[in-house]
Amino acid sequence: MWPDATREPLFATLALVISTPDQLPNSALVISALDTVSPKTAPILPHHVPQFDYPCPDCRATNSLHDADCRFEGTTWPVVEKAYVDLVVQLTTGPVDEDDLQESVHGDWDNLHRAALDRLKRDGRVSEANGTLRLLTAEEFREEVSEPTREPMKTIYRHGSVPGCHDNAVFAMVAWYEMVGLSWSETREKVISWLEESGAWSRGGFEEATPAQLVDSKRHVYEAGYGWKEKAQSAKRVIDRHR
C-alpha cells in the first residue's frame, strides 16, 4: 500500500542499492522501516547500504515542516516519500529512458516527481547519459561523493583545515556528507580520514585528543541536518589566506 497524506510514513529509510541478481534476485530496492521519526539516528543498516531520508526536493526537509519559501510548502512528508519511491521502484529495474520513466510511475507524473528526480540527479544518486537514467550502485555512490568537487568544499577537502577555521571546516565536512546521504558511521569514517590525510590534524590547534573525539563532538551537526555552505565559505577564506 502506498502512503498518502493521512497516513504515517511507511518507510523511514530507502536504501538506494543495486545488488547483483544472485544477491538480490527479486528486486534491487531495499526498504527499511526502522524509524519513522528520526531516520538519521535509526539503527545502522549493513555497510554496503547507503541511507536516504526522502528530503523535500526544494528545502530538503525530512518531515512535513517545510521552509517558509519552499515551493512544496503544505505537501506532507508521506507524499514526498511516495514520489521518491515511485521513481526508485522503476530505476532499480535497470537503466530507463526518462520519457518511459514518466509513463511508468505509480499514479500521475507531476511537479513533485520532476523535482524529486532532479534532486536525485543533483545529489549524484542517478546518472544521465543520452536521455537514459541509471541509479548508481552503493559503491558507485560512495565513490562519487567521497571527494567534493564543488567550491568551497573542494578547497577544504583538498587542502585541509588550518588553525583559525578548524571548527567551521569540520562542521562543513560533517554537514556535507550528511547532505549527500551518507550514514553517520560512513560520515565519521570519512571525516576522520580527511583530518589525517589532508594534514589538518598535524597542523594542531585542536582541543580534542584525537580526530575521532573531534568528529564525535560534531555528531549533533549530522543529526540536526545543518547546512554546510556558510561554514564552508568561512573556512575557505581562512584556508586561502594560508596558501
Mean pLDDT of the chain: 81
Burial of 68 per CB tally in 10 Å (0-12, 13-18, 19+): exposed
Domain co-membership, 59 together with 118: yes
Using the 3D structure, point to which of 79, 114, 139 is the last residue of a domain.
139
Domain co-membership, 117 together with 224: no
DSSP string, 78-123: HHHHHHHHHHHHHHTTS-EEHHHHHHHSSS---HHHHHHHHHHHHT
For 11-47, the pLDDT digits (tens) are 333 444 333 333 333 333 333 333 323 344 433 333 3
Domain co-membership, 17 together with 135: yes
% pLDDT > 70, the chain:
78
Domain co-membership, 52 together with 133: yes
Using the 3D structure, point to which of 121, 139, 157 is the last residue of a domain.
139
Residue 175 lies in a domain: yes
Provide the domain limits for residue 220.
147-242
Look up cell 520519457; give the residue: 99
Domain co-membership, 78 together with 96: yes
What total number of domains does the chain contain?
2
Q: What is the pLDDT of residue 22?
A: 35
Please list the residues that pair with 97 across neighbouring strands. 132
Instruction: Give the chain's count of helices (H) and strands (E).
Output: 10, 5
For 38-66, the pLDDT digits (tens) are 344 433 333 344 456 788 999 988 889 99
Residue 104 lies in a domain: yes
pTM as predicted: 0.60
Domain co-membership, 113 together with 202: no
Residue 55 lies in a domain: yes
Residue 7 lies in a domain: no
Q: What is the mean pLDDT of residues 137-166?
A: 90
Burial 196-210 (b: 16+ CB within 10 A, else e): eebebbeeeebeeee
Segment holding 29, helix H or strand E: strand 29-32
Q: What is the pLDDT of residue 50?
A: 46
Using the 3D structure, point to which of 98, 120, 139 is the last residue of a domain.
139
CB 121 within 8 A of CB 86: no
CB 124 within 8 A of CB 136: yes
Domain co-membership, 164 together with 192: yes
Domain co-membership, 21 together with 108: yes
Q: Name 157's Cβ contacts closer than 8 Å, sequence gap at least 6.
A: 147, 148, 173, 194, 198
How many CB atoms lie under 10 A from the CB of residue 58? 19
% pLDDT > 90, the chain:
59
Helix (H, G, I), strand (E, B) or coil at 40: helix
Domain co-membership, 58 together with 32: yes
